[in-house]
Amino acid sequence: MEYKHIFDYAREVDTILIVNGGENAIDKNFFYLTQVKSGVFEGSMLIVKPTEIKILTSILEEQAAKETGLEVLAIHKKKEIEKILQSELKNVDVVGLNYEAITLSDYTELSKMIPDKRFVDVSVSIQEARRIKTPGELSKLREAAKIASESFEAVIGRIKEGMKETELASELVYQMLRHGASEPSFSSIIAFGSNSSLPHYSPGDRKLKKNDYVLMDFGALYERYCSDVTRTLVFGKASEEQKEIYSVVKEAQENSMNAIRANINGKDVDKIARDIIDSTKYKDTFIHSLGHGLGMNVHDHPALSPGFDLPLKENMVVTVEPGIYVPGFGGVRIEDDVIVKKDGFEKITTATRDLIEIS
């Protein structure tokens, strides 16, 4: 991982301390900067400088840490952390912290261990640096997208009448693991029939019936990088209204996606899709943003939103996911992952976007 570019944004410091806390305070920047492939690293830290990164971790994670090729300072007892920090930071006056991830208790403990340091928040600077993906990150995101796309194709033939939403959710997870994912990148949304009108629906016991919509929103995690895909199909023969809704959503997605390139504003891309949907009888049924950034987090950063002013940059990765949601009837969402290019985009999800009718 090329980490020096972080200091192009965090110019107020020359040393950053990343604190990876417990289960509820995991800092993805620890894994972003180390690109470590395995391990949890609870209670571990990084000392980041423009010329080097040092990993402070327990002997439990020492072997995984050494596989990164970075210098590892192994800790046998927790009290050793204070001595290491005081030694490593003895000539440092100002330390950058990621305020967004550190807990108050960890911050208080740090203040006691190194009381002579002044802390400044570099969370925004790190976010800015992470929006632009490196070639290595893009390779992992492409693979995550490939796994999700292949898993969708594999699961289509396993959809059958009477199965529960939770059954299809578990089958989809199985297929993603089978195709190379370490785990899902988020809890899959599987919605049958009218349940598909709820964008963030959690799958339940509803059984699949003929002519139901089947909405699947899912993603694969590959070497800590996420994909995020949505496909909507019909179990049976689609009605005219189901076809019409699908056609409008697909047109909105295609037209907005085709506008993506470096330096276009994300809110303008959103407007293209929103205007298409709002020009139909389904006006005001597109009730979320068109897309978001993608990386180690599923929602890596805002990207294509009517309320967020963001010029897209080359090698950002974003989702494009317009939708129409009609309460009591159902909803359609089509979502793909794309890499922003200088003069266009690269769509890295490959599952068909044609309306599938399962007879």
Q: Domain with 151 in it: what CATH number?
A: 3.90.230.10
Same domain? 123 vs 51: yes
Residue 87 to residues 20, 42, 297: CA-CA distances in angstroms?
20, 22, 33
Tell me the pLDDT tens digit for each residue of 186-197. Answer: 999 999 999 999
pLDDT band for 323, please (50, 70, 90 cuts): very high
- Mean pLDDT within 118-126: 93
The pLDDT of residue 7:
84
Same domain? 345 vs 229: yes
- Please say which residue of 131, 146, 171 terminates a domain: 131
- Mean pLDDT within 135-156: 97
Look at residue 311 and tell me if it is in a domain: yes
Same domain? 39 vs 173: no
- Please say which residue of 73, 105, 131 terminates a domain: 131
254 burial (CB, 10 Å; 0-12 / 13-18 / 19+) is middle
Tell me the pLDDT tens digit for each residue of 6-46. Answer: 888 777 899 999 999 877 889 999 999 999 999 999 999 99
Look at residue 1 and tell me if it is in a domain: no
For residue 191, give both structure tokens. Answer: 């919605």
Q: How far apart are CA 84 and CA 61, in angstroms?
A: 17
Same domain? 236 vs 312: yes
Range of the domain at 18: 6-131
Same domain? 53 vs 172: no
The count of structural domains within the chain is 2
- Please say which residue of 116, 131, 146 terminates a domain: 131
Same domain? 144 vs 266: yes
The pLDDT of residue 304:
98
Same domain? 73 vs 178: no
Same domain? 85 vs 194: no
Answer for the pair 344, 261: CB distance below 8 angstroms, yes or no.
Answer: yes
